[in-house]
Homo-oligomer: A and B are copies of this chain.
């Protein structure tokens, strides 16, 4: 695990993200943040906590509930050389603004023959586990990773969140930064212990496309991201010597780290919180099969079955993979 173990300044994931945004905004007057309820309310998920006090409402901008309008406005502000962050409150709302996201933000650089660049960050909250039902609980990792032109980043700890956010803001391409609500450390949605980590004061970047081995192990490779990094780490306490790889970014994708691990273990379990089919798990498996079919003895995928997320707690619990599901799959690869 890449975090220096001796750090005694621990932070929540949201705290780490906000620290980065503040640091970068102090350094660059052309940065601003747009979103719903990001000013006086500090962001529904504490994503802008305290920023309005320091930067004022012009730079921490509440916007109309018009995702198409303000995300599109961010695209061209970025093209004009500013550095906007636009927050889509829940990733589940992508459907009202996807045209600006994928046809403009993601494509303009390519379509223009690289005569424009779009240095913006689109943040969005993802994930379930608190019974917010079908329209507020999705991960949708695959939906964004499938469409070219956006980098797609998913932090799982405060340490990673900081390094990835610095990198996202400094990147000259559009970056979709998906943070899991359950990991943020919000008052009304308690986080598990895992994401709260030591975080250095100074700035540092974590390059995209560098997966992180969160736990080394010899027997089975578990590839995952976001909340499920922590569930996989929990599952890894079950006896089998599991290696847990946190992808950290889906685009670009770090094939090498996964391949290397599978060469060692021969067994691959892919876990995520997105829908099972045509998504992340299929892609991870195929990358390995294309390049290391011979190394692969067995494969399991653990994801949300292809149904919308149900509301009731036992139903949602059944649908979203937990550490028991991961343990079962680990055992399956051994049988």
Q: A96-B99, A110-B134 are in contact. Are A278 and B290 (CB under 8 A)?
A: no
A306 within 8 A of B: yes
Contacts of A100 in B (CB 8 A): 95
Which residues of chain B come closer than 8 Å to A102, judged between CB atoms?
Answer: 95
**Of B95, B142, B290, which one neighbours A299 at CB under 8 angstroms?**
B290
Question: Which residues of B are found within 8 Å of A68, using beta-carbon distances?
Answer: 96
Pick from A34-42, A143-151, A154-162, A224-232 the stretch touching chain B: A143-151
- What CA separation (Å) do A280 and B277 show in the bound complex? 9
Provide the bound-state CA to CA distance between A68 and B96, in Å: 9
A301 and B238 CA atoms in complex are apart in Å by 36
CB distance from A308 to the nearest CB of B (A): 5
Q: Which of A95, A135, A148 is most buried by chain B, counting CB atoms within 10 A of its CB?
A: A95
A258-293 at interface with B (beta carbon < 8 Å): 275, 277-283, 285-287, 289-290, 293
- Write out the residue numbers on chain B whose beta carbons fall within 8 Å of the beta carbon of A110: 134, 307-308, 310
A93 shortest CB reach to chain B, Å = 7
Distance (Å) between the CB of A297 and the closest chain B CB?
8
Min C-beta distance of A147 to chain B, whole Å:
7
CA distance A282 to B303 in the complex (A): 15
Instruction: Give the contact-size bracket for chain A.
Output: 35 or more
- Given contacts A95-B101, A282-B285, whether A134 and B146 have CB atoms under 8 Å apart is no
Complex CA–CA separation, A298 to B285 (angstroms): 14
A172 within 8 A of B: no
| A240: Cβ under 8 A from any B Cβ | no
A111 to B68, CA, bound (A): 26
A143 to B94 Cα, complex, angstroms: 13
Contact A308 B148 (CB under 8 A): yes
A202: shortest Cβ distance to chain B, in Å? 34
Cβ–Cβ < 8 Å partners of A281 in chain B: 286
Contact B278 A278 (CB under 8 A): yes
Nearest neighbor of A270 in chain B, beta-carbon distance: B286
Contacts of A191 in B (CB 8 A): none
- Residues from chain B with a CB closer than 8 A to the CB of A103 are 92, 95, 134-135
Residues of A within 8 A of B (CB): 68, 92-103, 106-107, 110-111, 133-135, 142-143, 145-149, 250-251, 253, 275, 277-283, 285-287, 289-290, 293, 296, 298-301, 306-308, 310
Can you spell out 15 A-B residue pairs with CB atoms less than 8 angstroms apart?
A: A92-B103, A95-B99, A95-B100, A95-B103, A96-B99, A146-B275, A148-B306, A251-B277, A282-B285, A285-B285, A286-B289, A289-B299, A290-B299, A290-B300, A290-B301
